[in-house]
Amino acid sequence: MAYEKIDAVIVGAGASGSVFASVLTRAGKKVVLLDNGPDWQLTDLISSDIWGRRVKPAGAPVLLEGNHPFAAYTNQAGWGVGGAALHYFANFPRYLPNDFKINSEHNRAHDWPISYEDIAPFYDRVAVDVGVSGDAQAEEKWRPAGASYPMPPMKTFPNGEVWLKAAETNGIRFVPGAVGMSSTAYRGRPACMYDGWCHVGCPIGALANPVVTYLSEARKAGAEVRALCTATRVLSNQEGTRATGVEYYDANRQRQVQEASVVILAAWSAQNPRLLLNSVTDKHPKGLANSSELVGKFMMVHHIAGTWALFDEDITPHMGTVGAQFMSYDRYIKTSYPGAFGSSFIVTGAAMKTNDYAAARADLFGPELAAFMKRAARGITRITFFGEELPRLENRVELASDKDEFGMPLARLIHGFDDDALALWNANFEQGMKVANATTATTVWPGKPPFVPAAHLHGGAIMGTGPENSVTNSYGQTHEIANLWMAGPCIFPTEGASNPTYTIFAVSLRGAEYLAQNWGTVAG
């Protein structure tokens, strides 16, 4: 079956792809989204850690290598409509002004080609679009003023409240967490029930996943979603000057081509460069948009320092949401700790389930584990520091010799932390222990396994001022091929320390609207 040429084909129906689809369809464009997983419905989202694994990829399509492999890749990745944002924690902190100018201020890493002020209006609009709960004014002690959030903060519970006084004693001021969840009924979606099952998908729509926000809008405006369709190459014209469409394999494992005036890759930070690198032609022997040889480079993750505390009293660990009850930017200044560099973002008060209790003491087994589980069920909680690493060329995505069932080379994601990142990670543990020791907990310990826990993949097609230092401009348009666009955290040149999805939505909205407004120039 041959498909007729459309306006835009988007690879990936997650957070960033949904924003582009929504904006473009509402601008009257014919849009098709391809996603390699199922077309999940809210009724598929069973409240169970066991059953919740269905919405994640199976196995290792990305080979995880390096001194500090990104072991959380599969757990964090999406598989199917909604992408990773179908099962994300919906923490909605924003990046701060200092994230956009590290090079100017510290002579390290990259500046973004845009400033906080360029993104700020889009943060405010996304908050209304998807529904954010929080206290914007309370956050403004750390950032420029903006609009209020459309909903008040979420309820709090003892598993978060027990940290407040101890943190303040240590110079860490907590404010209500900004989350993409409904503290009140919002735009036809119900208020949150605080059952803590957000991470396996929220079937009532209280959590702002793409299925109930931007993708829903896109579908209503006519966007077509083709599920179980695996993109393998971006096709380009003979001259190598234009993208012409996407080659993919459909649910019946049949090869298909979707021609389009504009191609947008929104398949997260490892798969996007994999697609570009696999799209070689004689005009693009290193892969599309890769004359700079920067495709797949500057991969970044946040390292995680989680400190646990066990209380004798019942602090209802299972209550709330997996988002943060409280958050703080009080260690966000890049030079917060002597001997370390980078921002840290602090959260606490996430609801936990029984698998989380067991993970808190991964060294325990047998009767000792059974005894611990009984105590944890009443009294466990954690304070978590996300830490920034700076972009480095050697952290990269490459094509492997192994291939998938469609003959496409797997990606190798090679990652290691440098000394600065490890120093920051250790400093965050020291800080976390100081706070934990200042609580009334009976036992505290650092959640420090033999590896460095990490989250939030960024980079691989970073934005910049030109092809000499980047793959795309600030809107996600590749420097080399005007109608080939990248979307998502792959275009972030640095990663800050706060959870990225709010910024993904905001940067995508900015890029999508620019594309719609300049359609004639871009689409040709």
Partner 1 sequence: MDDLRRRALIKGAAIGTLAFIVDGARIMLTPQEARAQGVPLRTLTAEQAATLDAVGETLVPGAKEAGITNFVDQQISIAAEQSLLQARILNVRPPFAKFYRAAIRAIDQASEKAKSHRFAELTPDEQHEFINLMRQNKLDGWQGPPGPFVYTVLRSDAVDVVYATMDGYAALGVPYMHHIAPTKRW
Q: Which is nearer to partner 1, 9 or 309 (CB)?
A: 309
- Here's the x/- map for partner 1, 397-436, by CB under 8 A: it reads as ----------------------------------------
Smallest separation (angstroms) from partner 1 to the CB of 75: 4
The burial class, CB within 10 Å (0-12 / 13-18 / 19+), for 107 is exposed
Interface of this chain with partner 1, residues 358 to 377, rule: CB under 8 A: 358, 362-363, 365-367, 369-370, 373-374, 377
CA distance 46 to 82: 15
Smallest separation (angstroms) from partner 1 to the CB of 365: 5
Q: Count of CB atoms within 10 A of residue 354's CB?
A: 13
Under rule CB under 8 A, residue 196 binds partner 1: yes
CA distance 60 to 73: 9
Q: Which is nearer to partner 1, 413 or 506 (CB)?
A: 413
Under rule CB under 8 A, residue 60 binds partner 1: yes
Token pair of 517, please? 């407004």
Q: Which is nearer to partner 1, 314 or 430 (CB)?
A: 314
Under rule CB under 8 A, residue 353 binds partner 1: yes
CA distance 181 to 502: 12
The DSSP bridge partners found for residue 10 are 33, 264
Q: Which is nearer to partner 1, 53 or 434 (CB)?
A: 53
CA distance 73 to 84: 11
Indicate the residue type of 505. Answer: F
Of 222, 243, 223, nearest to 233 (Cα)? 243
CA distance 405 to 419: 39
Q: Which is nearer to partner 1, 370 or 393 (CB)?
A: 370
Smallest separation (angstroms) from partner 1 to the CB of 366: 6
Strand 255-265 relative to strand 31-34, pairing:
unpaired
CA distance 343 to 332: 4
Under rule CB under 8 A, residue 253 binds partner 1: no
- Here's the x/- map for partner 1, 173-192, by CB under 8 A: it reads as -----------------x--
Interface of this chain with partner 1, residues 29 to 58, rule: CB under 8 A: 43, 45-51, 53-54, 56-58
Smallest separation (angstroms) from partner 1 to the CB of 56: 6
Length of the chain: 524
Residue 505: half-sphere exposure toward Cβ, Cα within 13 Å? 33
**Site residues (CB under 8 A) for partner 1?**
43, 45-51, 53-54, 56-60, 64, 71, 73-75, 190, 193, 195-197, 202-204, 318, 353-355, 357-358, 362-363, 365-367, 369-370, 373-374, 377-378, 450
